[in-house]
Amino acid sequence: MKVIRGMIMDKIKQFTITRVKMKGFKAFKEEKEVHLGNTTYIYGANGQGKTSIADAIAYAFCGVSFWGEKSTERLMSKGESQMCVEVDFVNKDGELFNLIRRKNGSTTTVTLNGHQMTQTNLVNIFAEKDIFLSLVNPIYFIEKIASDGRELLQKLLPPISQEEILSKLSELSRDLLEKESLLEPEYYIKNKRDELKATDEQEMYLSGQLALLEEQLEANSVTKNKLETNIKTLKAKIASVMEKQFAGIDVENIKQQYNAAKKSSSNDEILALEKKRMEIQNKQYVSKFAGEGNKTEAELKAVHSEYNRLYKKATGIRPGVPCPTCTHSLTDAEFNTVKKEIIQELNNLKAKGVKLKSQLDDIVKLDTKAKEQFLQYQADDLKKVEEEIKAVKSSTTADIDKLRDILTYGNFSEEQVNKLEAMKAELYSDETDLRAMRSDDELQKMIESVKLQIKDNDVSRQFIKYLIAAANEYAVKRAEIMLTPLKMKQASIKLFEVVKSTGELKGTFKFAYDGKDYRWLSTSERIKAGLEVANLLKRLTGLAYPTFIDNAESINTNFIRPYGQTIFAFVKKCALTIQEPAYTSKEAA
């Protein structure tokens, strides 16, 4: 056995359990150790721990119960917070192994021969959970895996080459499929059915095209004669009507008048008026009060400046403080005199400023009124010149419209002209249809081309049908060869069945024993059927693992014994009893 960094690398394909020790595990709250032989009989009443031993084996190797439940809470003895299962087993070479799985609260640890293991490690050494439990629990595969067993079995079945299957087919099918890829016959047939459906749709399309072309060919000469006759009639009518439309009208002279009228719409009179309008729009208001206003505003600013200067000077004068002008220190009497003079001068400046402000406000009001009057005169002048332009243009436009009507309608009313245009439109449509018409020869060539396409499509459809039939034969033969390893004595598994309407295979999963559906089997028949399946799986996987048969009292006669170690559990009104047979494993074999 190779061990690298604590990892056992070799696959263990066969082993026999010699000892199982449990503590805190289901019925075994206290430590319990049982020894097992190549064939072991376990007796006991319900609740004594027979199934607990089966659960312990499954838990040690897979971390689940005998029936595969992922939750392990019910495996722990009531009132306990930890449990442990220890299993001793030997492989086919007689090497001894010790597997321990402990759970303490939410923490689980696994060791094999003292090496720390993960569940993935164990799967690599033994087998995935479903296979392991199907070998240990003979009823697990049918009752727990159910329809998923189809996929599992297909993985276990030996691969079959396409050449091997083709060699079993008829010569025609073999020739048809020799260069086809048939790794998945069902997928291949589905694709071919899609192709067949496409040929059916193509046939419908081509049939419609053929019918349309043949109809066109049949009606071609009639339609052509009808169009030519109608075109000739329309041309004559239109010529006759147009001759009356402009009878007595000098069209060339009217055109000259029309062009002259259009040209006069931009004559010198309109140009002069437009120039006048631009001059009025561009004229700007010039204030006659600007000079006087600027002068008054300058005087007002000078008064404000002088007032502020004098006020600042007055606030700096105090009795006993040197005068800022003459540096003479003022007495109280001098301070009062100076203060009175300054106040008088400030009052005079304030009165002057109020007067100037009033004068400036009057000037602004006069200027605003003058500007408003200017803008009103400007708007009135613009309105007047625009009315003059409109009048000139209106006169010219009326002449243009009148001349245009003569060129358009001539002697006709609008209704008569509309009828004439309708005839012209009909003539254009007929001439277009006539030009677009295919000749009889061209139509005949198109008909022959479509017929050839229909023939080619028929050939393709028939060939696809042959391929589908051959692929069905291939799928059936493949299923026969593939399912050969699944043959058992009385049990049977069906993974495919033929659809009567199409002859195709469809996937299924049906299990029977002695010809009866599994659902209607008795407990005895179910166990016997499960034992045959367990042996089948051992043969397919090459794994000879122990088999634990619960309720073994149901099959005490006429059953196929599984390969490898067998543990029988019988319901009997007694305490838990473990018994090995008196004969040796060699004699049992």
Q: Which domains does the chain have, with CATH numbers?
A: 3-156+522-588 (3.40.50.300), 251-409 (1.10.287.510)
CB contact at 8 A, 20 and 568 = no
pTM surpassing 0.85?
Answer: no
Q: How far is CA 10 from CA 63, 72, 158, 305, 512, in A?
A: 21, 29, 22, 112, 37
Task: Specify the residue for token string 């028949």.
Answer: 525
293 sits in which H/E element = helix 290-315
Nearest Cα neighbor of 87 from 132, 20, 32, 14 is 20
CA torsion angle for 144, 150, 152, 155 (degrees, to 10)?
Answer: 170
In tens digits, the chain (589 residues) has pLDDT values of 545 445 556 789 999 999 999 999 999 999 999 999 999 999 999 989 999 999 999 999 999 999 988 888 899 999 899 999 999 999 999 999 999 999 998 899 999 999 999 999 999 999 999 999 999 999 888 887 666 677 777 788 888 888 998 998 999 998 999 888 888 888 898 999 999 999 999 999 999 999 998 888 888 878 888 888 999 999 888 888 888 877 888 878 878 877 777 666 556 667 787 788 888 888 888 888 878 888 888 888 888 888 888 888 777 777 776 666 666 677 777 778 878 888 888 888 888 888 888 888 888 888 888 888 888 988 888 888 787 777 666 556 667 777 777 777 777 888 888 888 898 898 899 888 888 777 888 888 999 999 999 999 999 999 999 999 999 888 888 888 887 888 888 888 877 777 666 666 677 778 888 888 888 888 888 889 889 889 988 998 999 999 999 988 888 667 778 889 999 999 999 999 998 776 444 433 3
Compute how many other C-beta atoms are within 10 angstroms of the C-beta atom of residue 80: 12
Nearest Cα neighbor of 527 from 138, 15, 249 is 138
Give the per-residue pLDDT at 35.
Answer: 95
Sign of CA dihedral 24, 26, 28, 33: negative
What phi and psi values does residue 37 have, to the nearest 5 degrees? -110, -170
Give the per-residue pLDDT at 14.
Answer: 94
Give the per-residue pLDDT at 578.
Answer: 92
Give the per-residue pLDDT at 63.
Answer: 95
What phi and psi values does residue 245 have, to the nearest 5 degrees? -60, -40
Both tokens of residue 509?
Answer: 């999963």
Give the burial class of 534: count Cβ atoms within 10 A of its Cβ; 0-12 exposed, 13-18 middle, 19 or more buried: buried
Sign of CA dihedral 417, 422, 424, 425: positive
CB contact at 8 A, 484 and 160 = no
Query: What is the C-alpha to C-alpha distance for residues 12 and 362, in angstroms, rounded to an integer?
Result: 120
Give the per-residue pLDDT at 5.
Answer: 47
In the 8-state DSSP scheme, what is residue 544?
Answer: B
Query: What is the C-alpha to C-alpha distance for residues 188 and 393, in angstroms, rounded to an integer?
Result: 84
SS3 readout for 361-388: HHHHHHHHHHHHHHHHHHHHHHHHHHHH
Both tokens of residue 557?
Answer: 């006669």
Give the per-residue pLDDT at 384.
Answer: 85
In the 8-state DSSP scheme, what is residue 489?
Answer: S
Query: What is the C-alpha to C-alpha distance for residues 585 and 275, in angstroms, rounded to an integer?
Result: 131
Give the per-residue pLDDT at 589.
Answer: 33
Strand partners, 88: 19, 98
Q: 214 by DSSP, 3-state: which?
A: helix
Nearest Cα neighbor of 224 from 435, 475, 522 is 435
Give the per-residue pLDDT at 323.
Answer: 64
Query: What is the C-alpha to C-alpha distance for residues 571 and 573, in angstroms, rounded to an integer?
Result: 7
SS3 readout for 138-189: CCHHHHHHCCHHHHHHHHHCCCCCHHHHHCCCCHHHHHHHCCCCCCCHHHHH
Both tokens of residue 307?
Answer: 């007032």
Query: What is the C-alpha to C-alpha distance for residues 124 and 9, in angstroms, rounded to an integer?
Result: 8
